[in-house]
Structure 1
Amino acid sequence: MKKNILSLLSLAVVLSVTSCTVEIREDADINGGGTPSGPTTGAVLSGTGTLTGTLTQNTTVKKGTYSLEGVVKVPEGITLTIEPGATFTAKTSVGSSLVVLQGAKIFAEGTASEPIVFTSDSKKPGDWGGVTLYGNAPIKAINGAIKAISEDGNEVYYGGDQPNDNSGSLKYVRVEYGGKKIGDGTSETNSMTFYSVGAGTTLENLVSYMGTDDGYEFFGGTVNAKNLVSYGNYDDAFDWQDGWSGQNNSNWFAYQTGTGNFGMEIEASGNADNTAPKVNGITLMRAAGTKPENPGSSEVSAIQFKKHGSGIFTNVYIDGYKNTDGKNAYSVLIQDAPTETEQVNKGKIVVSPANHLNSDNLNIWGYTFSGNGGKTFTSDTTVKKVSLIGGAWATVNGVDLLSSLK
């Protein structure tokens, strides 16, 4: 996500939507004239309805088609449960998003054949703010700060002291057309964002599709993620900062097409003392002719490390990263000398075994500072693309998003 400091004035419109209590609207023929059914301890939407504002009670959403209007917040102590087959269409004219705050939970568990889908009413990249989770796990922000203010337009403090904090579960969830512009009109939200989310949270079989910022961004925390798909996102497919340290991640797939920056952008907010996250099984693919957001930008490499970013990556498959507009594309790009000294040389940056093909500068790491000629390696051709189960969860408008893995 691009950095942005918002003024209170710029937030006025957003806050005017979210400061009210939740309004759950249903058609007159649902649940007896629009009265939510289910247990007295919560509300139930059955088949159709609208979510808007801040939830004030536990809410269950059944299979059906729903509207999402404005910034919908799940506050502390409240649980939002979404059942397989539920589809939410975000209203673009009112800056919609779904935000799960610290101490709240979301259980959105679809299936491969009946995913939970968040889309938009006009089906264009950048339509809405996507899905954001806040947890209470530790972070290490700039200057080692243990708390920071979010950059998603909500200006929420994040960071805590509970590594195993549980914000719920996301399984077989697809988020389409995120990346709503905020603040100065040049910064955007991500499709899926995780602020200080803890390892007790489950993230599995997720798709981020055609957003105008990052597919996934982690701001600190300890959460792990398995079977992630980032398809056609304009900025980076995967991004993290503030010392994210998940240790049990696997099967990440990015397909960059049309517009796309780095496959992975990795930093630790300038903190040399960080815990390197681990990911086993990464496939980064870039379609022919894909260019960065900004013409002439050097953001064309597969994996970038900067500001003490770290990561232990195994079984990495990199395909299609070509020099663009005079800028060199590398399998791995190290942006500054401190990252080389404190992270690479101390074994906190490892990308091996890796298979690097159909790209320029084959089997070379790039450096943007003087004194380094590039680290060479030998591609391991036994490393194959990740394997993911197919189905409706990874199909949009009849297009199989996993077809390039076959």
Structure 2
Amino acid sequence: MKRLFASLLTLSALSLTSACGDDDNTPNNPNPPPTDTTENVSANITQDTTWKAGVTYTLKNYIFVESGTLTIEPGTRILGDQGSALIITRNAKIHAVGTAQAPIVFTSSRPEGSREPGNWGGVVLLGKGRINVAGGENTVEGFFASGNNPLTQYGGGANPDDAHDCGKLNYARIEFAGFELSEDNELNGLTVAGCGSDTDLDYIQVHMGADDGVEFFGGSANLKHAVVTQADDDSLDYDLGYNGKIQFFIAQQNAVVGNFGIEASGNKNDNAATPRSAPEIWNATFIGSGRPAGTSPAQSGMVFNTGAGGKLNNVIVAHFADLAVDVSGTASAALWNAATPELYLRNTFFWNNRGDTVSIPAAPNPTVDAGGNITNPDVSNFNEPERVLASALNNRVVDPQLTDATHLTAPNFMPVAGSPALNPDSAATPPAGFDTSARFVGAVGTTNWLAGWTAFPQD
């Protein structure tokens, strides 16, 4: 959640020379057709409303859907001005269901060629689900907490609704979003706070956001077929007791910005708070920038801290400059060590993290005194190479042989023919509640579910 700042001029000059001109990787008409009709949106929404295909809507400020359902038709384009965002409050819903041929696009209102991360605020969904804070309610990040504005509150209080339906967001792209209101108080590309299991999030791309790609604050909303490309901070961030299901998730970093593929936190004020943040994740691909280790910013595959867990299966973690996995602190380490663990990785491929093609880097968590002297070289006492690569977990250091996963403008995350990621013996069968046919490692098997609706513009 901490914002990493980088020169946008450096970003625009980033070399993209590898694998240029690969037409097979270019999405098929990913943008809706141009429209002649425009409409500015500057007032909150208080009743059932439909945004129609053929109209371009421009958000002029924070737009709160206070009640009713906001329906967005396939192919609709929504532009965000600086200082704008779309917020679905606890008493409202969104029904934004695009198609592969006509995705719904949320993007910057600036002209193509001058768009940048942080041009607008992104999409926020607020629900009445369970969160692990005192009182069961909170003010979502990106807004001032003074006055406890009910429009920015999430969580179900003393009577949480674990199934609370925040609506549907399908076949949607969110581009150039996210910004910092104050330190550690930022909007992300997609913020999902306290939403329940009836919420439908499927086929979503968050591209070039100024903070995290997708962040869950508690709740149990599920996510499928999601891709986060070139986020300034973390690709997937979750905390405050998030317990949803995620399947088919992709994260990709560039060499200029980006921190963790996953930052998993519990409750930073109370590491023992329950429920634990411990989603179940199947079939995910986390791709680092391949930048040399030890240069800024630090980029790592995943970190679990402040009592957070996560149950990860059939995952690829490759090309991160620094760490592959960091189990940070005693509270998260205890979840790995428990008789019924709430933190583990199984059937996972690691490759070329900090340049290592034999093992994975250790991630000691030292403590220091007021004078800067190390008082404990590793307070978590968790040896990542030894514990994560234990034979019983079926995790390996092996090249997943992806087609072109590090290409920034036309990536292809599919394994090549003969890749070990496609060998069903390398993977486990997902349980009920997931796509049980996904007997492969990583987010993509032999069908490229990104084709036709994703896009990777640089500006």
Aligned to 2:451: 391
Q: Secondary structure at the match of 1:54?
A: coil
Aligned to 2:9: none
Q: Distance in 2 between matches of 1:260 and 1:221?
A: 25
Segments of structure 2 that go 5 or more residues without pairing to the other structure are 4-34, 146-151, 367-377, 390-394, 399-419, 422-440
Aligned to 2:120: 128
**RMSD over aligned Cα, in angstroms?**
2.5
Which is strand-richer, 1 or 2? 1
CA deviation after TM superposition for structure 1 residue 239, in Å = 0.2
CA deviation after TM superposition for structure 1 residue 290, in Å = 8.0
Any residues of structure 2 matched to 1:170-189 within 5 Å, and which?
170-183=169-182, 187-189=185-187
Any residues of structure 2 matched to 1:228-239 within 5 Å, and which?
228-239=226-237
Cα 1:355/1:62, change in 2 over 3 Å: same
Any residues of structure 2 matched to 1:7-406 within 5 Å, and which?
47-64=37-54, 65-76=56-67, 78-92=68-82, 95-122=83-110, 123-141=115-133, 144-153=134-143, 155=145, 156-160=152-156, 161-183=160-182, 187-246=185-244, 248-257=245-254, 258-269=256-267, 270-271=271-272, 273-275=274-276, 276-289=278-291, 296=296, 299-322=298-321, 329-346=322-339, 347-360=341-354, 361=356, 362-364=359-361, 366-369=363-366, 370=378, 371-376=381-386, 377=389, 378-379=395-396, 381=398, 382-383=420-421, 384-387=441-444, 388-397=448-457
Whether contact under 8 Å (2:248, 2:442) holds in the other structure is no
CA deviation after TM superposition for structure 1 residue 189, in Å = 1.2
Larger relative contact order (CA 8 Å, sep ≥ 6): 2
CA deviation after TM superposition for structure 1 residue 391, in Å = 3.3
Decide which moves more: 104-113 or 145-154: 145-154
With structure 1 as the length reference, what TM-score do the two structures score?
A: 0.78
Q: Secondary structure at the match of 2:241?
A: coil
Whether contact under 8 Å (1:80, 1:106) holds in the other structure is yes
CA deviation after TM superposition for structure 1 residue 51, in Å = 1.6
Whether contact under 8 Å (1:113, 1:391) holds in the other structure is no
Q: How many pairs are equivalent?
A: 342
Segments of structure 1 that go 5 or more residues without pairing to the other structure are 4-44, 323-328, 400-406
Aligned to 1:6: none
Deviation by residue 1:301-357 (Cα, 9 ceiling, x = unmatched): 2010000111000001011012xxxxxx22210111222124444411111111001
Q: Distance in 1 between matches of 2:292 and 2:59?
A: 32
| One-letter amino acid of the structure 2 residue matched with residue 283 of structure 1 | T
CA deviation after TM superposition for structure 1 residue 241, in Å = 0.7
- Identity between Structure 1 and Structure 2 (%): 29
Cα 1:337/1:251, change in 2 over 3 Å: same
Decide which moves more: 360-369 or 61-70: 360-369
Whether contact under 8 Å (2:333, 2:382) holds in the other structure is no
CA deviation after TM superposition for structure 1 residue 214, in Å = 0.2
Cα 1:87/1:228, change in 2 over 3 Å: same
| One-letter amino acid of the structure 1 residue matched with residue 364 of structure 2 | Y
Whether contact under 8 Å (2:58, 2:78) holds in the other structure is yes
Cα 1:284/1:230, change in 2 over 3 Å: same
Whether contact under 8 Å (1:260, 1:291) holds in the other structure is no
Whether contact under 8 Å (2:208, 2:232) holds in the other structure is yes
Deviation by residue 1:18-61 (Cα, 9 ceiling, x = unmatched): xxxxxxxxxxxxxxxxxxxxxxxxxxx99531222211321111
Whether contact under 8 Å (1:46, 1:61) holds in the other structure is no
Q: Secondary structure at the match of 2:257?
A: coil
Q: Distance in 1 between matches of 2:458 and 2:121?
A: 24
| One-letter amino acid of the structure 2 residue matched with residue 395 of structure 1 | A
Q: Secondary structure at the match of 2:384?
A: coil
